């Protein structure tokens, strides 16, 4: 993550990073630094929204943001579909 995000004029950045407790093998780039992502989002010039699986680390990092819970079906493996809570996060207005 080296490119700064700059928006404006109705631009909204949507981010769907690997979940904090997810299987990192699903992603070619491996894991990410969730705290670094949070710090970079503090500097975004524009609006953003991101999704995460419910996890204490994520709730702590984004405690100053608006967090909406949404129950969903895990869709990657249809044979073992389970429900989980997804967090929709955006800056407070």
Q: Tell me which residue range forms the domain holding 51.
A: 12-91
Q: Answer whether residue 28 is part of any domain.
A: yes
Give the CATH number, domain containing residue 63: 3.40.50.150
Q: How is residue 39 annotated by DSSP?
A: H
Domain count across the chain: 1
Residue whose structure tokens are 């949507």:
14
* Strand order across the 83-91 sheet: 12-15, 47-53, 83-91, 65-73
What was the pLDDT predicted at 38? 95
Q: Answer whether residue 7 is part of any domain.
A: no
| The most confident of 4-13, 58-67, 75-84, by mean pLDDT | 58-67
Q: Evaluate if residue 1 carries a pLDDT over 60.
A: no
| 2-60 pLDDT, tens digit each | 555 566 667 888 999 887 876 444 444 557 889 999 999 998 888 899 999 899 999 99
What was the pLDDT predicted at 25? 47
Q: Answer whether residue 52 is part of any domain.
A: yes
Residue of 18, 16, 17, 12 whose CA lies nearest to 48: 12
Q: Answer whether residue 87 is part of any domain.
A: yes
């Amino acid at each position: 993550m080296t490119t700064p995000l700059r928006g404006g004029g109705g631009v909204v950045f949507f981010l769907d990073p690997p979940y904090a407790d997810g299987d990192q093998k699903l992603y070619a780039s491996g894991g990410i630094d969730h705290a670094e992502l949070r710090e970079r989002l503090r500097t975004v010039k524009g609006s953003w929204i991101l999704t995460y699986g419910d996890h204490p680390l994520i709730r702590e990092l984004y405690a100053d943001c608006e967090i909406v819970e949404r129950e969903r079906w895990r869709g990657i493996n249809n044979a073992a579909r389970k429900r989980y809570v997804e967090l929709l996060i955006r800056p407070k207005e």
